[in-house]
Homo-oligomer: A and B are copies of this chain.
């Protein structure tokens, strides 16, 4: 069973009553609790803890890290970003949610700006499952409908996803690559679009199922010890 840590910036919930009404204990608590209902043990970490709650010990015992940030990407210390990146390359899974597209760690791992279009309005969102058979869509119908969400639109400046899992439709005429899978080193990465703080998206059972599926899928399958450096020839001359 994967050991999951849910990381949250945890600022909106403390300053915006509309957000606090939806997530009184923070987005991280809602997600961790939902994972528990799927049989996955999850702890939490937040920005304003020492080392943002992501000490070497915490990361060393985390199989999958879930990341929600928005307002304060720049406040995340580079040493912590380095540490998270290294753990991903060594095999830790990483699930980046919604506005986490702009986080230092996601941009670091992608190599691109990760910019996009957005609009807070009255859009509905339909997420289409374009990867039936992928572990992330286990038990997911052909589409998921969210009555109201923030719009994210293309062009989304990311590398071509290795697997595209969801494409979103928005009322206003936009589309978005909403579920994107990458491998970096031995680590699996999943970007999942939904989850604006002013909507109850993480209370949605179908969204919770996707995150739980992704956590199981992203969990390291096995220890990986990559060997680098300067080896002797494997096959001596004249062999």
List the interface of chain A (C-beta within 8 A of B). Answer: 85, 89, 91, 108-113, 115-119, 121-124, 126, 128-130, 132-135, 138-139, 142-143, 145, 151, 153-157, 159-160, 162-164, 167-175, 177, 182-188, 220-222, 224, 226-239
Contact = CB atoms under 8 A, between A and B. Distances in A.
B233 A138 contact: no
Contacts of A221: 133-135, 138
A175 B173 contact: no
A133 B231 contact: no
A51 B34 CA distance: 49
Nearest to A182: B159
Contacts of A116: 228
26 contacts: A119-B230, A119-B233, A121-B233, A126-B173, A126-B175, A128-B153, A128-B155, A128-B175, A129-B155, A130-B155, A132-B224, A133-B183, A133-B224, A138-B221, A142-B155, A142-B226, A145-B234, A155-B228, A157-B185, A157-B226, A159-B182, A168-B175, A169-B169, A171-B237, A172-B236, A237-B239
Contacts of A129: 154-155
A172 B233 contact: yes
Nearest to A231: B117
* Copies of this protein in the complex: 4
Contacts of A142: 154-155, 226-227
Contact of A115 (B119, B228, B239): B228
A220 B128 contact: no
A235 B167 contact: no
A105 to B, nearest CB: 10
A124 B235 contact: yes
Which of A117, A138, A167 counts the most chain B CB atoms within 10 A? A167
B186 A159 contact: no
A235 to B, nearest CB: 4
A191 B91 CA distance: 24
B89 A157 contact: yes
A139 to B, nearest CB: 6
Nearest to A216: B221
